[in-house]
Amino acid sequence: MDNNCIFCKIANGEIPSSTLYEDDMFRVILDLSPATKGHALIIPKGHMANIFEMDEATAEKIFVLTARIAKAMKEALNCDGLNIVQNNGEIAGQTVFHFHMHIIPRYEGDHQNIHWVPGTSEAAEREAVAEQIRIALNK
């Protein structure tokens, strides 16, 4: 735990929150500034700034929990869909440097807009990038 991290304090119960779920590894809370009704955050209790610091066992467990929370939201809130958002690094929009996963229920007419402008790429460029990533995966 990082004593200077607000999400460490929330995840470990030092700061009150509207908690949806808690176990020994995670706390799931409603976001104080929700994009839509039911917008939740999954916060690990152990401090890690981003996904680059996360071990595979934690990553596995967080996605299982994400699916569980998403299904409960669908049933409880009757949302039309949902976004799962996770930002890593300031350039990617991360503002709190403690890993967290947003689960954002979506409703027809909610006026939220999570999108990017599709680009283009050539086959040779895609293959070169794929090779760079494959090399890194096999280290």
Q: Which of 39, 47, 98, 100 is catalytic?
A: 100
DSSP string of 1-69?
--TT-HHHHHHTTSS---EEEE-SSEEEEE-SS-SSTT-EEEEESS--SSGGG--HHHHHHHHHHHHHH
Asked if 39 is an active-site residue, the reply is no
Q: Which residues are catalytic?
A: 100
